[in-house]
Structure 1
Amino acid sequence: MARPRNKGNKDIPTNLYRGDGNAWRYRHPVTGKFHSMGTDKNKAFQAARKLNEILIFEVDLVSKVLGGGVLFGSFSDEYLMNKRRKDGRLLAENTLNTYKIHLNRIKTYWGDKPIDSITLLMVNQYLDSLPPSSSVNVRSLLCNIFDVAMSKGLCPDNPARITLKRSVTKQRKRHTVEGLKLIRQHAPVWLQNAIDLAMLTTQRRTDIVNMRWTDIRDGFLYVAQQKTTNDALDEFETLEGAGYIRIKIDDELQKVLDRCKADNVVSPFIIHQNPKRKSSNKKKEHWTQILPLYLSEEFIRIVYLSNAYPNLKGRQIPTFHEIRALAIFLHKKMGKSAQALAGHSTKNMTEHYESGHEIIWNDVDVGIKLPFTDVT
């Protein structure tokens, strides 16, 4: 609920509260978590206003004028339209589409109901109707939506946050060096290169296929990471925001980059292919481009072809994304810090926004050599 205004706090920005002594605290309007803002009043006020500009969107003006209850359907549409990542950037296309699918289903039940009329029982009944993994994801989305609604005074509590999160047994298994080596032996050259880049840099699928030759400058590979996740099952992800890193190109990484150029195909993308036929695809910037979905599908096809994991089936089979986990494990095994290379944030959200969104590139080094004996 919003804080009652009186003479003592009427000039305090929304979501900013006095802590112990002279300290100030900022309440995140979506997560409800408090973040320390220090003891300097002016700096705390300034930071809180910046945060509010980013994290809070305006309630539908029509609903304000009419004075009626805001419908869940219209509010969720507005929420999704204004939803941003924790660093203020637009959501990734796949993430946005996933949210749309979830919300379209939910709106068939609650779309025409005032958001403050949705009860704990209603939320529980809907979540219980879903498979465990979907239930966890939808619960997280609903928690965020109702948190925003609470911050605007549209509902008295958050019925989703009171529900119990269902436990999910992770089915997907991790890659092994031996398994990935076998996959690589059966893969086309462009996919071998993608695997090698993922192993050395620990980057995600989307970041791998988006790497361009123009991202290489002054002996560094610059990566502005495109993806963050709210997946609690992914132990290598954080919620603070995507990282901006520049990776020092050592001899091992240079060999991979040289192999990417060896096909003499002129492409703006480091990972690319010369397809058997050029086909028009609105999602492609260039005919040689590898799209993330195609990378995933081709990788799984090669996994089956190679019979790398004969004892695994279905959702147990590790995907291209799990290369990231193996790479991070190998970096740690070598005594290298994988946190900076993976782009994991070490500063809290408040400090990030106080920086005025200035991009600070973190210099990192590759910490391993490729564990594939046939690599030259």
Structure 2
Amino acid sequence: MSRPRSKRNKDLPLNLYRGDGMLWRYRHPITGKYHGMGDDKAKAIIAARKLNELLVPSIDLVSRVIGEITFGTFATEFLENKRRKDGKAIAKNTKRAYVNYLNRCEEWSDLSLSSITLFMTNALLDELPASTSIGCRSFLGELFDVAISKGLVDDNPAKQTIKRYRTKQRKRHTLEGLTAIRMASPLWLQNAIDIAMLTTQRRVDIVNMKWSDIADGYLHVAQEKTTDDPEDEFEFLEGAGYVRIKVSDELQKVLDRCKDHISSPFIIHRAPKKKHGRPLKVEKEHWTQIDDQYLTHQFLAAVKRSNAYPNYIGRQIPSFHEIRALSIFMHKKSGKSAQQLAGHTTARMTEVYASGHEIAWNDVNIGISLPFADVT
């Protein structure tokens, strides 16, 4: 589970790290704070080992006899057996996020599961950025719930922590801004932008769309929903949403544009510059398939080329995923509900996406008369 140390650090004890220059530093296993250890490597190693004996909860002989499991072993088993609510395997992006969370806990790898305290959990979560802390807390909460159900621990230190909140930094797309980005994009990315605007679908669902998904005048989308998509702060459900999208004349024009000289099973596709002489990625079904991370990177490159949002910096720059919010807003503004199209289970979810743009007035009529005898 934990990341192996580099060759030059193989001889270092747990929690000892190289600092600036020739200096050494020790990371407190409970508080997570670093302490200077001077420039003498031998002395630093001796001190780190003594500190580990005092501060690192050890798995004693009794624990080994009764078969107490380490955090690393249990976490690895937990991840291997983790499934969606419908029993299917978790999505690639979800697993990637979980592995990242476990890497954050590498100092716990050799500790007994029951030795992970509330103090240690708080120290870990407080070190992380707010969004990562929220996801890691949720993941550890599930992990310890399973451990409790198996009788391995008595309480859940993750759920006893206070959940942090993040301030949304990412801005919404404007129609003018997205138009400029589209003009600075290659054709395959223009097609992806157009499909996102028309259908409100997520990037992972768009890159997974195949020609075989079109039947009887409908585009069939088995939406991949995940709670750990870093691009998506509004989705709360795991599993799949099944949507049949009627192929309108406007959508058909985009689909016709997607048909080119490249033979691909995927609607959105591209020919890599170097196809021959390189092994295919394991994740790819076809050499023309576009990875969702690649789409994100290329979209950001188009944003920079277009200079669509010169006043936005860093996380303020809207991503490809934010096209979904603009699409839902445009649907609502035209008097059309995008709830079923977006695959949202509640109207509230759709409202969250539509918010952040200009006010879209809902026309309503008064349905009652005043119930008073005299209203003068």
TM-score of the two chains, using structure 1 as the length reference = 0.70
The answer to whether residue 52 in structure 2 is matched with residue 80 in structure 1 is: no
1:126 is the counterpart of 2:124: yes
Correspondence list, 1:1-376, <5 A:
67-106=66-105, 108-230=106-228, 234=232, 236-261=234-259, 263-279=260-276, 280=278, 281-282=280-281, 283-345=283-345
Per-residue deviation, residues 93-133 of structure 1 (Å, max 9, x unmatched)? 22212211221331x32222222222211111111122222
Give deviations 1:308-357, integer Å, cap 9, x for gaps. Answer: 000001111111111111112222222322221112236xxxxxxxxxxx
The answer (yes or no) to whether the contact 1:242–1:344 under 8 Å persists in 2 is no
Q: Could you say what the CA RMSD is over the residues aligned between the two structures, in angstroms? A: 2.2
Bigger shift: residues 231-240 or 134-143: 231-240
Deviation at 1:233, TM superposition (A): 9.3
Partner amino acid for 1:345? T
CA distance in 2, matches of 1:234, 1:105: 21
- Describe the shift of the 1:286–1:155 C-alpha distance in structure 2 as closer, same or farther (beyond 3 A): same
Q: Is the 8 A contact 1:241 1:345 kept in 2?
A: no
Could you tell me whether the CA contact under 8 Å between 2:93 and 2:229 is conserved in 1?
A: no
Shifted more, 291-300 versus 64-73: the winner is 64-73
Contact 1:120 1:163 in 2 (8 A): yes
Amino acid at match of 1:284: K
Is contact 1:132–1:166 with CA below 8 Å preserved after alignment? yes
Aligned to 1:23: none
Relative to 1, partners in 2 of residues 1:221 and 1:139: Cα closer, same or farther, differing over 3 Å?
A: same
Q: Distance in 2 between matches of 1:276 and 1:232?
A: 28
3-state DSSP of counterpart to 1:138: helix
1:236–1:134 distance in 2 versus 1, CA, 3 Å: closer
TM-score by length of 2: 0.70
Conserved? CA contact 1:229–1:239, under 8 Å: yes
| Cα contact 1:206–1:226 (8 A) shared by 2 | yes
- Taking the aligned partners of 1:160 and 1:274, their CA distance within structure 2 comes to 46
In the alignment, the residues of structure 2 paired with residue 179 and residue 190 of structure 1 have an alpha-carbon distance, to the nearest angstrom, of 19
| Whole-angstrom CA distance in 2 between matches of 1:232 and 1:302 | 20
Residue 320 of structure 1 aligns with an amino acid whose one-letter code is: F
Kept in 2: contact 1:275–1:288 (CA 8 A)? yes
Instruction: After superposing the two structures, state which structure 1 stretch, 181-190 or 287-296, moved more.
Output: 287-296
* Amino acid paired to 1:337: S
Aligned pair in 2 of structure 1 residues 150, 318: CA closer, same or farther (>3 Å)? Answer: same
Q: Which amino acid aligns with 1:274?
A: A
Distance 2:312 2:189 in 1: 22
Deviations 1:37-60 (A, max 9, x none): xxxxxxxxxxxxxxxxxxxxxxxx
Output the CA distance in 2 between the equivalents of 1:236 and 1:87: 20
> Kindly tell me: are residues 137 and 240 of structure 1, through their superposed partners in 2, closer, same or farther at Cα, counting changes over 3 Å?
closer
Q: Per-residue CA shift, 1:190-209, capped at 9, x if unaligned?
A: 11100011111111111111
Q: Which has the higher contact order (CA 8 A, sep 6+)?
A: 1
- Give structure 1 stretches of 5+ with no counterpart: 1-63, 347-376
> What whole-Å deviation, never above 9, does each CA across 1:124-158 have from its counterpart, x for those lacking one?
11111222222112111111111111222222111
Q: What displacement does 1:226 show? A: 2.4
Structure 1 residue aligned with 2:362 = none
Aligned residues: 281
1:272 aligned partner, one-letter code: H
Distance 1:226 1:260 in 2: 22
Task: Please give the secondary structure, in 1, of the residue aligned with 2:220.
Answer: strand
Compute the displacement of 1:301 (Å). Answer: 0.5
Give the Cα separation in 1 of the matches to 2:273 and 2:103.
39
Please give the secondary structure, in 2, of the residue aligned with 1:170: coil
Q: Give the distance between the partners of 1:164 and 1:239, measured in 2 at CA.
A: 22
Identity among equivalent positions (%) equals 63
- Alpha-carbon separation, structure 2, partners of 1:74 and 1:113: 10
Indicate the structure (1 or 2) with the bigger Cα radius of gyration. Answer: 2
Once the 2 structures are TM-superposed, how far is the Cα of residue 298 of structure 1 from its aligned partner? 0.8
